[in-house]
A = this chain, B = another copy of it.
């Protein structure tokens, strides 16, 4: 932190006693210069605190150090949480993450990708809406930039996908619920905004078949991202009507379950796995708040860290390889059963 303000790389190079092209090389990749010169530069860096002009830097570089991160909705704590880990992993690796939320709107997802184009990102990590996404826009983006999908898969798009194995995780939950009480019905949204929902329904059907149980699916009306609201209103209606035909409800995700718990409380239905309870409710995702619902929610924990780290490391592998992966990689992490009190 010296006094004389350094205006550009020219001046800084002069001060550090290294030529400008070498300094430029250093900033591009510190390991690409001899350790003795690296030391010189870093000494000067400590004394004079200079950082290259981002805009001039990126103007001519083909690939910047920017990593785009696009999630459907940051107001959903699940995405906030996973985005946080992805972001930190990028910083860790010396990149500049640019976090964009699509605020629940597929159109804004497209806009976000277009905005990212202008920033010439080295790569992009995208949790897409799925069927609601602008598939062509994402495909086009995939052709132009290294793209890794996470959370929600889209067939053939992106060079890799990282997510949770819904078939394993749902099966795990169904197995547990069948062993410990009445077999579950399945509660979800009629028009889910996420492809995982479809996988989970399918997984539920298969798992119930395997257990020789008759599946029952209840689909709630309502669109958008107010899952708790929908879970509360529609789930509450079904509870009041005693429509489920079983005392065990497996919700497609925790947010629906949180809504249903709220409705059950309002109806004075005691939720839990004890003998005195009327109802068991289970969820999926281990939403950050699921530990604090009443009662605490039995659910499936997604491997946040695993997904985040794998997505980031996968992207970086292809960045280093400087070419598309020979084949699309799909990595599915297993869900863990989190037994709390609600089921």
Chain A: residues with CB nearer than 8 A to chain B? 51, 53-59, 74-75, 77, 80-81, 83-84, 87-88, 96, 98-101, 103, 115, 118-120, 228-229, 232, 258-259, 261-262, 265-266, 288-289, 291-296
Contacts and interface: CB of A to CB of B under 8 A. Distances in A.
B294 A51 contact: no
B119 A54 contact: yes
Contact of A101 (B84, B266, B296): B84
A294 B261 contact: yes
A259 B84 contact: no
Given A74-B80, A259-B292, 13 more contacts: A53-B59, A54-B55, A55-B57, A59-B59, A74-B84, A75-B80, A80-B80, A96-B115, A99-B101, A261-B294, A262-B291, A262-B292, A262-B293
Contact of A74 (B54, B55, B83): B83
Contacts of A232: 292
20 contacts: A53-B118, A55-B57, A55-B58, A55-B59, A59-B59, A75-B80, A75-B288, A77-B77, A77-B80, A96-B115, A228-B291, A229-B291, A232-B292, A258-B289, A258-B292, A262-B291, A265-B294, A289-B289, A293-B293, A293-B294
A88 B73 CA distance: 13
Q: How many copies does the complex hold?
A: 2
Nearest to A98: B98
A84 B80 contact: no
Contacts of A120: 55
Given A84-B101, A101-B84, A56 B54 contact: no
Contacts of A291: 228-229, 262
Chain A contact residues, majority secondary structure: helix
Contacts of A266: 295
A320 to B, nearest CB: 24
Nearest to A114: B51
B99 A294 contact: no
A140 to B, nearest CB: 12
A111 to B, nearest CB: 9
A322 to B, nearest CB: 22
Contacts of A100: 99
Nearest to A52: B118
A104 B132 CA distance: 33
Contacts of A56: 55, 59
Contacts of A81: 75
**Lowest 4 CB-CB distances: which A-B pairs, in order?**
A294-B294, A265-B294, A262-B292, A55-B59
A253 to B, nearest CB: 14
Contact of A296 (B84, B103, B262): B262
